[in-house]
Amino acid sequence: MDYISTRGSAPALDFAGVTLAGLASDGGLYLPRAWPRLSPDEIAALAGLPYAELAARIMQPFVGESLSPARLRELTVAAYGRFAHTAVTPLRQLDAQHWLLELFHGPTLAFKDVALQLLGLLFEEFLGRSEEHLTIVGATSGDTGSAAIDAVAGRARVDIFMLHPKGRVSDVQRRQMTTVLAPNVHNIAIAGTFDDAQAMVKRMFGDPALTSRFAIGAVNSINWARLMAQVVYYFAAALQLGAPHRPIAFSVPTGNFGDVFAGYVAARMGLPVERLIVATNVNDILHRALSTGDYSQGQVTPTAAPSMDIQVSSNFERLLFDVGGRDGKALAAQMAGFEASRAMLLTNAQREGAAALFASARAEPGDMTRAIGWAWQQCGELIDPHSAIGLHAARAAGIDRAVPVVTLATAHPAKFPEAVERATGQRPALPLRVGDLFEREERCTDLPCDYAAIADYIAARASPRH
Ligand X SMILES: *Cc1c(COP(=O)(O)O)cnc(C)c1O
Q: Does 318 participate in binding ligand X (rule CB under 6 A)?
A: no
Could you tell me if residue 164 is left (phi over 0), alpha (psi between -120 and 50 degrees) or otherwise beta?
Answer: beta
Rg (CA), the chain: 20
Q: One symbol per residue from 191 to 230: x for binding ligand X (CB under 6 A), - otherwise; what is it? A: ------------------------------x---------
Secondary structure of residue 61 in the 3-state scheme:
helix
Q: Does 170 participate in binding ligand X (rule CB under 6 A)?
A: no
Find the helix or strand (DSSP H, E) in which 118 lies: helix 112-130
Q: Choose, by CB under 6 A, the member of 178, 254, 280, 303 that binds ligand X.
A: 254
Closer to ligand X by CB, 90 or 253: give it: 253
CB contact burial 338-369 (16+ within 10 A = b; e otherwise): beeeeebbbbeebbebbeebbbbbbbebebbb
Find the helix or strand (DSSP H, E) in which 376 lies: helix 365-379
Closest approach of ligand X to the CB of residue 109, in Å: 9
Q: Does 256 participate in binding ligand X (rule CB under 6 A)?
A: yes
Active site residue 329: no
Closest approach of ligand X to the CB of residue 242, in Å: 26
Q: Does 143 participate in binding ligand X (rule CB under 6 A)?
A: yes
C-alpha distances (whole Å) from 86 to each of 81, 236, 384 are: 8, 13, 22
Q: Please say whether the beta carbons of 219 and 138 come within 8 A.
A: yes
Q: Does 410 participate in binding ligand X (rule CB under 6 A)?
A: yes
Closest approach of ligand X to the CB of residue 140, in Å: 9
The one catalytic residue among 112, 166, 202, 415: 112
Q: Choose, by CB under 6 A, the member of 73, 112, 351, 392 that binds ligand X.
A: 112
Closest approach of ligand X to the CB of residue 428, in Å: 14
Q: Contacts with ligand X: how many residues (CB under 6 A)? A: 16
Q: Does 417 participate in binding ligand X (rule CB under 6 A)?
A: no
The distance of Cα 199 from the centroid of its chain, to the nearest Å, equals 17
Q: Does 257 participate in binding ligand X (rule CB under 6 A)?
A: yes
Stretch that binds ligand X, among 202-210, 247-255, 441-449, 453-461 (CB under 6 A): 247-255
Closest approach of ligand X to the CB of residue 226, in Å: 8
Q: Does 411 participate in binding ligand X (rule CB under 6 A)?
A: yes
Closest approach of ligand X to the CB of residue 24, in Å: 19
Q: Does 360 participate in binding ligand X (rule CB under 6 A)?
A: no
Secondary structure of residue 293 in the 3-state scheme:
coil
Closest approach of ligand X to the CB of residue 148, in Å: 11
Stretch that binds ligand X, among 250-258, 332-340, 343-351, 432-440 (CB under 6 A): 250-258
Closer to ligand X by CB, 89 or 256: give it: 256
Length of the chain: 466
C-alpha distances (whole Å) from 165 to each of 109, 193, 338, 384, 391 are: 20, 5, 23, 21, 27
Q: Does 137 participate in binding ligand X (rule CB under 6 A)?
A: no
Q: In angstroms, rounded to a whole number, what is the distance separating the alpha carbons of residues 59 and 76? A: 10
Q: Please say whether the beta carbons of 299 and 311 come within 8 A.
A: yes
Phi, psi of 222 (to 5 degrees): -65, -20
Closer to ligand X by CB, 167 or 208: give it: 167
Q: Kindly give the residue spans of alpha helices, DSSP state H, lying in 9-87.
A: 15-21, 40-44, 51-63, 69-80
Q: Does 307 participate in binding ligand X (rule CB under 6 A)?
A: yes
Q: Please say whether the beta carbons of 203 and 178 come within 8 A.
A: no
Q: Which residues carry out catalysis?
A: 112
Binding site for ligand X (CB under 6 A): 110, 112, 143, 221, 253-259, 307-308, 386, 410-411
